Amino acid sequence: MKDWKLENRTDGLPDMPVLRELDVLVVGGGSAGVAAATVCGRNGLKTAVIEKYGFCGGAAVAGMSGTICGMYMASDKESHAPEQVVFGFTEEFRSRLAARGGVTEPQLYGKTFTVTHDPLVWREVADELLEEAGVEVFYHTAVSGVIMDGETYKGVIVESNAGRSVILAKRIIDASGDAAVVARAGGEYFFGDNGVIQNPTMFFRLGNVDMDTYLEFYGEDTICPPKVTEKILALNASGEYSLPRHKIWIFPTTRLNELMVNATRLAGQDGRVLNVIDPVDFSEAEIFGRKQVRDYAKFLKAFMPGCENSYVVDTAVEVGIRQTRSIEGIEKLTNEDVVSCRKRSDGIVRTPWPIELHSGTKPKLHWLLDDWYEVPYGTLVPKLGENIIVAGRCLCAEHEALASARVTAQTFEYGHAAAQATLLSIREERRYRDIRGEDVREHMTQAGSRF
């Protein structure tokens, strides 16, 4: 696989127009980028966000991951009601969605709960928050290079169909999910478990479902009951179908008679694990994903009560990417931190979400019961380079740990943390690596986060 490492790094100012000179540039408008840019902007920093699509949301919207996981505690107790433990920017965004009818009440997901959001309302809420915070947004613009002065990040080269230009910034928040900025500068990163990363999934929405009949059969739990898995296995064994994932998840949405389906499992046509940072693998995932959506939709129409007259409303804009690059940070979230529910004085978010590992034919779930762990601040700070911090799923975490720490309640709060660190860094002229996680946590608490 080809990577961009070092090929798009420029030392010194290239001969190109300077589009903006900023306090903060946020690269990527996913959940982490929207949080980071909003918090920087509302605190008076001259901030812009660049996003390669024409809307914000990233994996949550373009990838249609569709739910805000990671807000509620998991439990085995019989009378287990939703207990929210993550607040701050996550709760601000959830309540804005709720005010527009764009998010469901908590829905059962195994031993915990999640909420399903509307992808259109998500985009509108993000636009509204960024506008209110005075953040300038450049849609349809992508980072293609990095401007460095030795180890210090000075800005980026951006590319749109208008051409190439430069954005200079005192600080850069890499919220690209793929560590696009860090990688182009030659920063250190790794892929999953010795290069093996989690499967991508193509989401789809199914319309015209008779919800009462559906719910009576499927039940309230969004993780499919064993009878659905058994049916898939039997159909596969008979040769009638070839559905590679046996445990599927289905979420009623905020729209009338509509379901959102998380069912596909995408590997290469030759069975290899796809690495979607590579356009060859990414394209294969998109094409194969659309085909697999039709297979699962056919299965649901034929065998899921209530879905007899259903149709595919749409697939995600892009195949959902769970994992690509993880940076090497000054701290690493370990698998042991997660399973032992380790609390930290420098923790910047609580995480009660299970390890939800998508590899093989059945996603593996390791529950954290009646407890959570905390993600340390240093996981956002790259080992190498100054004036750069990451936010979102490219934080420094071991493979299984990331399979828990990557969900949206947490990625919002990573963005919040990166913004609070940026405010401290600029106001006190301190390097990110010299900022104490405890201070970031304190500022997050003042802004509504809970620990």
User: Site residues (CB under 6 A) for ligand FAD?
Assistant: 27-33, 50-53, 58-60, 63, 65-70, 142-143, 175-178, 180, 201, 320-322, 392-393, 406-408, 411
Taking the least distance from each CB to ligand FAD, the nearer of 33 and 102 is 33
Taking the least distance from each CB to ligand FAD, the nearer of 120 and 235 is 120
Taking the least distance from each CB to ligand FAD, the nearer of 244 and 305 is 244
**Among the listed residues 250, 342, 339, 252, the one whose alpha carbon sits nearest the alpha carbon of residue 299:** 250
What residues are paired with 347 via a beta bridge?
376
Shortest distance, CB of residue 64 to ligand FAD, whole angstroms?
8
What residues are paired with 109 via a beta bridge?
112
Shortest distance, CB of residue 394 to ligand FAD, whole angstroms?
7
Taking the least distance from each CB to ligand FAD, the nearer of 293 and 431 is 293
Q: How many CB atoms lie within 10 A of CB 62?
A: 23
What phi and psi, each to the nearest 5 degrees, are found at residue 47?
-125, 140
Shortest distance, CB of residue 85 to ligand FAD, whole angstroms?
14
Shortest distance, CB of residue 265 to ligand FAD, whole angstroms?
10
Q: In whole angstroms, how large is the CA radius of gyration of the chain? A: 21
Amino acid at position 450, single letter: R
Q: Label residue 270 exposed, middle or buried (CB < 10 Å: 0-12, 13-18, 19+).
A: exposed
Contact 84, 115 (CB under 8 A): no
Shortest distance, CB of residue 359 to ligand FAD, whole angstroms?
13
Shortest distance, CB of residue 111 to ligand FAD, whole angstroms?
15
Taking the least distance from each CB to ligand FAD, the nearer of 255 and 430 is 255
Amino acid at position 348, single letter: I
Q: Which alpha helices (H) appear in 185-261, and where do they start and end?
A: 211-218, 226-238
Shortest distance, CB of residue 449 to ligand FAD, whole angstroms?
17
Taking the least distance from each CB to ligand FAD, the nearer of 296 and 427 is 296
What contacts 205, CB < 8 A, 6 or more positions away?
Answer: 64, 253, 258, 259, 260, 261, 312, 313, 314
3-class DSSP state of 366? strand
Taking the least distance from each CB to ligand FAD, the nearer of 223 and 235 is 223
Shortest distance, CB of residue 147 to ligand FAD, whole angstroms?
14
Taking the least distance from each CB to ligand FAD, the nearer of 347 and 363 is 363
Shortest distance, CB of residue 336 to ligand FAD, whole angstroms?
22
Q: At what angle do helices 279-303 and 226-238 cross, to 10 degrees?
A: 100
Q: Which alpha helices (H) appear in 249-347, and where do they start and end?
A: 279-303, 335-339
Taking the least distance from each CB to ligand FAD, the nearer of 122 and 218 is 122
Q: What DSSP string runs through 6-38?
A: TTTEEES--SS-EEEEEEEEEE--SHHHHHHHH
